[in-house]
Amino acid sequence: MIIAAILTVSCQDAVPLYKQADAPIEKRVEDLLSRMTLEEKILQMNQVTLGTNLNQNNIGGEQVEPVLGSYITYTATDPTEINQMQKRAMEETRLGIPVLFGFDAIHGFRTVYPIPLAQSCSWNPELVEKACSICARESRLSGIPWTFSPMVDIARDGRWGRCAEGYGEDPYTASVFCAASVRGYQGDDISDSTKIAACIKHYIGYGASEAGRDYVPTEISSQTLWDTYMPPYQAGIEAGAATVMSSFNTINGTPASASPYHLTQVLKEQFGWDGMIVSDWDAVKQLVYQGAAADHKESAWRAVNAGLDMDMADLCYFNHLEQLVKEGKVGEKTIDESVRRILRLKFRLGLFENPYPPVTTAEERFNLPGDFEVVEQLAEESSVLLKNNGLLPLGSKPGKIALIGPMVDNYWDLIGSWGGHPLAEDIITIKQAFSDEFGPANVLYAKGCDFEGDDRSGYAEAVAKARQADVVVLCLGEKSSWSGENGIRSTLALPSVQEQLAFELKKTGKPMVLLLNNGRPLELCRLEPLADAILELWQPGIAGGKPAAGILSGRVNPSGKLSITFPYATGQVPIYYNRRRTSRPFMGFYQDITSDPMYEFAYGLSYSTFEYGDIREVCERPLTFEISVTNTSSLDGLETVHWFICDPVSTVTRPYKELKFFEKKLIRAGKTEQFRFEVDPLRDFGYVDESGRRYLEKGKYQILVKDKLFEVEL
């Protein structure tokens, strides 16, 4: 590959078709493709990292000339940096093809909001869409029009640290939040100067990792692939997702990044999707480790022929594709098809017309008026009140609060993995938030212990502070790096140094609230009995401790509900609500512990109390159900109604319960709201077969809302 030959100044005909902004995109793509040499095409099919690589799991990465198709830029937050490189691509290359810059803005660019797992606990997709649109604006104005988000891997084993990055255990929930996030990033038109291309990942089945280990093979039946893992991808594609990332795992023996079935037959042919597929980092090269290729040349051969359009980081395409074409092992048509998809994306992003983001100051790009309120509200609605024996809310004057734990005076661990580019001063620590909420004189702080290790020397100070206080607020949790990529843990329990601190504090006899910051469900069987109240904050982003302080004082009424099951103990995982039926429902339980979870899917408390009426069929065509929910308390509250269905008898056995719809509404104190579920029988009662074909069987179906049940016959 001779890059120098491509870095020559263009002397083209007047205005070639591909440069004519008003010509149809497909015509521009074909025109440009017809002018490109094989080398130029192959360059487009590669992506490398630019600058320091912040993700320790992204190993390797050479630096090459900025004439490739795409760059991941982990450090750039300023358009002038991007513009310098883009200028070279636009002005010094023969055809002036803009570079596509990408970045993992997973839950915010600078204005960082809660991790995706938390987002789904808000059951507020409109709010998630708004947060994603803030992220899009900040990213695009910084010169980065592509994010590797949303991650929609279904995760049912909390040991797998990447459960933090997705929307939990349920395919429907993940589908709804996937679509919301794609809409937030992309809007109606990705050429808009404040929008970016989304990338749904990791396609596919990555979350089915055995024993929570990352990068390992997965075994997923065709049935489960279609009924569990595929729906969020279908939803993302229907929402217009511009790109998809292929995953690291092998699936039933074939690496996902080299699977003609998954990449070409399903995505491109069955779904008729015309977007672009990028590999995950080094996934092409890793085919060798997976035993699917003898060397990197064979890796490139397998991946490109499977339909993988762009090679992230490992340069296997860069180094081998030209030779593979010359040897006849890869057809030029295959190359053209991938390049067509890459160019189409660049045209759709408007990069040919507007390659340079405007030069703006950080103040003009980030944290604009109203942004903080959105991410704060999302953090409030994502927080889940798991236990309350009546201690909460504390009120605004609860006396002295002993604020204890390794999370209290901590910035970065409030952010979570893939934390974007927040500044320390953007993040409100728990300590700061409690001082603001309750007054500094009322907050007695002690760290107590670190996240892990054996140092218990801080216990004494913590216990002393607890004795002086009226209430103890204990802030425990995980470091950001414990979840996310390669964040694997053998147990969901917090380290014993943290658990034991709780035991010591309990001995003071003071009422105790447990605040949790973590990126996965936790094993709480020992901590739960010690606490009068438990609030799950997840990793809330820059709003940090403010939502927690507001919920504890009662300024904010909690409304989050779990999108992932909390087991009683780690030995129960994988555990999830929508498991298939067992052959002996009355047997098959653990001998040593309960078989029930600690907190089930969709569980979460409010300070309001809600009373549910019965499910009523209110219309036959379209088949519509209603349920009334009354706020029986004197406090306005948000309530989410989850509509499940059950198909008790079917050819392919189905889960006990399947979520099909949810809705969140504000119910004023003492008032009643109607919640409505309009059924599309094929969509909501139907099922998919092993090839993804949806069908509907005659018979009885049940509609379930909490303990209410309504039976219909089709």
Q: Is residue 639 a contact residue for ligand NOJ (CB under 6 A)? A: no
In sequence order, the 6+-apart residues with CB closer than 8 A to the CB of 605 are: 385, 386, 387, 388, 558
The nearest distance, CB 165 to ligand NOJ, in angstroms, is 7
Q: Is residue 58 a contact residue for ligand NOJ (CB under 6 A)? A: yes
Q: Is residue 280 a contact residue for ligand NOJ (CB under 6 A)? A: yes
Strands 443-446 and 401-404: parallel
- The token duo for 174 is 């993940």
| Interior/surface letters 151-183, b for 16+ CB within 10 angstroms, e for the rest | bbbbbbbbbbbbbbbbbbbbbbbbbbbbbbbbb
Which letter does DSSP use for residue 581 in this model?
Answer: P
CB-nearer residue toward ligand NOJ: 214 or 371: 214
At 248, the amino acid letter reads: F
DSSP 472-483: EEEEEE--GGGS
The nearest distance, CB 673 to ligand NOJ, in angstroms, is 39
CB-nearer residue toward ligand NOJ: 417 or 498: 417
The nearest distance, CB 148 to ligand NOJ, in angstroms, is 3
> Does residue 251 have a cis bond before it (omega within 30 degrees)?
no
CB-nearer residue toward ligand NOJ: 113 or 568: 113
Q: Is residue 18 a contact residue for ligand NOJ (CB under 6 A)? A: no
The nearest distance, CB 133 to ligand NOJ, in angstroms, is 20
CB-nearer residue toward ligand NOJ: 275 or 458: 275
| Interior/surface letters 223-249, b for 16+ CB within 10 angstroms, e for the rest | bbbbbbbbbbbbbbbebbbbbbbbbbb
Rule CB under 6 A: which of 59-88 touch ligand NOJ? Answer: 72
The nearest distance, CB 313 to ligand NOJ, in angstroms, is 8
Rule CB under 6 A: which of 641-700 touch ligand NOJ? Answer: none
Cα–Cα distances (Å) from 647 to 77, 284, 565, 685, in that order, read: 50, 41, 22, 7
Rule CB under 6 A: which of 168-207 touch ligand NOJ? Answer: 201
CB-nearer residue toward ligand NOJ: 164 or 646: 164
Instruction: Count residues near ligand NOJ (CB under 6 A).
Output: 9
The nearest distance, CB 647 to ligand NOJ, in angstroms, is 35
CB-nearer residue toward ligand NOJ: 280 or 311: 280
Residue 268's Cα: distance from chain center in Å? 23
> Does residue 202 have a cis bond before it (omega within 30 degrees)?
yes
CB-nearer residue toward ligand NOJ: 419 or 545: 419
At 592, the amino acid letter reads: D
Which letter does DSSP use for residue 151 in this model?
Answer: B
The nearest distance, CB 145 to ligand NOJ, in angstroms, is 15
Q: How many CA atoms lie within 13 A of 618 on its CB side?
A: 14
The nearest distance, CB 500 to ligand NOJ, in angstroms, is 35
Cα–Cα distances (Å) from 500 to 463, 473, 493, 683, in that order, read: 12, 15, 12, 49
The nearest distance, CB 281 to ligand NOJ, in angstroms, is 4
* Rounded Cα–Cα distance for residues 108 and 99 (Å): 23
In sequence order, the 6+-apart residues with CB closer than 8 A to the CB of 263 are: 203, 246, 256, 257, 277, 306, 307, 308
- Residue whose beta carbon is closest to ligand NOJ: 148
- The token duo for 548 is 């927690």
When binding is defined by CB under 6 A, the residue of 101, 148, 451, 685 that contacts ligand NOJ is 148
- Find, among 635, 413, 596, 634, the residue nearest to 515 by Cα: 413
Q: Is residue 214 a contact residue for ligand NOJ (CB under 6 A)? A: no
The nearest distance, CB 353 to ligand NOJ, in angstroms, is 27
- The token duo for 310 is 């762009």
Residue 351's Cα: distance from chain center in Å? 27
* Rounded Cα–Cα distance for residues 640 and 563 (Å): 12
Residue 64's Cα: distance from chain center in Å? 31
Q: Is residue 153 a contact residue for ligand NOJ (CB under 6 A)? A: no
* Rounded Cα–Cα distance for residues 492 and 536 (Å): 14
Establish whether 314 is a catalytic residue. Answer: no
Q: Is residue 314 a contact residue for ligand NOJ (CB under 6 A)? A: no
Beta bridge partner(s), residue 627: 675
Q: Is residue 55 a contact residue for ligand NOJ (CB under 6 A)? A: yes
From residue 85 to residue 124, what is the string marking binding to ligand NOJ with x (rule CB under 6 A)?
-------------------x--------------------
CA dihedral 144, 145, 146, 149 (to 10 degrees): 90
Helix intervals (H) in 263-331: 296-306, 316-326
Q: State the catalytic residue, choosing from 104, 170, 227, 280.
A: 280
CB-nearer residue toward ligand NOJ: 190 or 283: 283
CB-nearer residue toward ligand NOJ: 54 or 64: 54
Rule CB under 6 A: which of 516-575 touch ligand NOJ? Answer: none
Give SS3 for 629. Answer: strand
The nearest distance, CB 248 to ligand NOJ, in angstroms, is 7
In sequence order, the 6+-apart residues with CB closer than 8 A to the CB of 335 are: 38, 41, 42, 45, 304, 321, 325
- Find, among 475, 497, 493, the residue nearest to 414 by Cα: 475
* Rounded Cα–Cα distance for residues 238 and 240 (Å): 5
* Rounded Cα–Cα distance for residues 222 and 211 (Å): 21
Q: Is residue 281 a contact residue for ligand NOJ (CB under 6 A)? A: yes
The nearest distance, CB 160 to ligand NOJ, in angstroms, is 12
When binding is defined by CB under 6 A, the residue of 227, 298, 371, 485 that contacts ligand NOJ is 485
- Find, among 499, 492, 488, the residue nearest to 522 by Cα: 492
Residue 591's Cα: distance from chain center in Å? 35
- The token duo for 117 is 């797992």
The nearest distance, CB 485 to ligand NOJ, in angstroms, is 5
Binding residues for ligand NOJ, per CB under 6 A? 55, 58, 72, 104, 148, 201, 280-281, 485
**Active-site residue list:** 280
